Amino acid sequence: MKKTSTPLADGRELIYYDLRDDAVRDAVDRRPLDRTVTSSEIRRDPLLGDSVAIASHRQGRTYHPPANECPLCPSEGERLSEIPDSSYDVVVFENRFPSLAGDSGRCEVVCFTSDHDSSFADLTEEQAGLVLDAWTDRTAELSHLPSVQQVFCFENRGAEIGVTLGHPHGQIYGYPFTTPRTALMLRSAAAHKEATGAATSSTTYSPANWPGSGSSFRESTGSPSFRTRRTGPTRSTSTRAAGSPTCWPSTRTHAQSSPRCIWNS
């Protein structure tokens, strides 16, 4: 895998992930963009104690453009997009309309393929592996940011969940707090350890009541770290898109070098 970082016209970072080590990524973003200014902020719900992201600027984000104006397709001639080059394998860039930004975290977009009409399920095992490599790399990088406490990778697909761009893509959220579900999972893991007296040195187990079938849990330093099953895309009979991954979040209490995904099978 080759990784190439380049700035976009408004100062945001874009990263190419290529299968070929000899790939050259020197295209320049020619769009006349002003520097991105966001108004993301985190507010606390006084009744529930939850942290809530407020991002009113997202009301102006790109909304269901026609395929020939998709901002996630490669640039072609004078049709300029978020990706300056004319092709790519996998690309990651800072969201132009982020829910979290600055001291409130970070949001990134992950384009799985340059093929607008494809899907994650259509990727070859090699291509899907490159997406996982990008997730792994970004999880490690974002985990070092002072404003990020939890990293969460996920796929965006389907108008039913509010997706506004049809191109095969996902997002990475770098939260400035630990989300409630993850906090609950960590408390449950700690309670299980206390109740069973499980050893803290390389003990692997799969509690029957652990959320998500097929997940495994490893204790190495007294805190949980999910492992990846690299079995390749599979067809699924569930409502989840075939071959799409279920992504578990990474928090600062986890080992930062391993990916946080298991395949839905």
The answer to whether the CB of 14 falls within 8 A of the CB of 82 is: yes
Catalytic residue among 57, 64, 169, 192: 169
What six digits make up the tokens of 79?
Answer: 């049709």
Task: Give me the half-sphere count of Cα atoms (radius 13 Å) on the Cβ side of residue 169.
Answer: 22
**Which of these, 61, 52, 70, 151, lies nearest to 97 by C-alpha position?**
61
End-to-end CA, the chain = 26
Taking CA atoms, 53 is separated from 33, 50, 165, 236, in Å, by 26, 10, 21, 33
Rg (CA), the chain: 19
Buried b (16+ CB within 10 A) or exposed e, 144-177: eeeebbbbbbbbbbeeeeeeebbbbbbbbbbbbb
Q: Is 233 exposed, middle or buried (0-12, 13-18, 19+ CB in 10 A)?
A: buried
Residue 169 appears among annotated catalytic residues = yes
Beta bridge pairs of residue 92 = 15, 110
Q: What secondary structure letter does DSSP report for 8?
A: -
Catalogue the active-site residues: 169
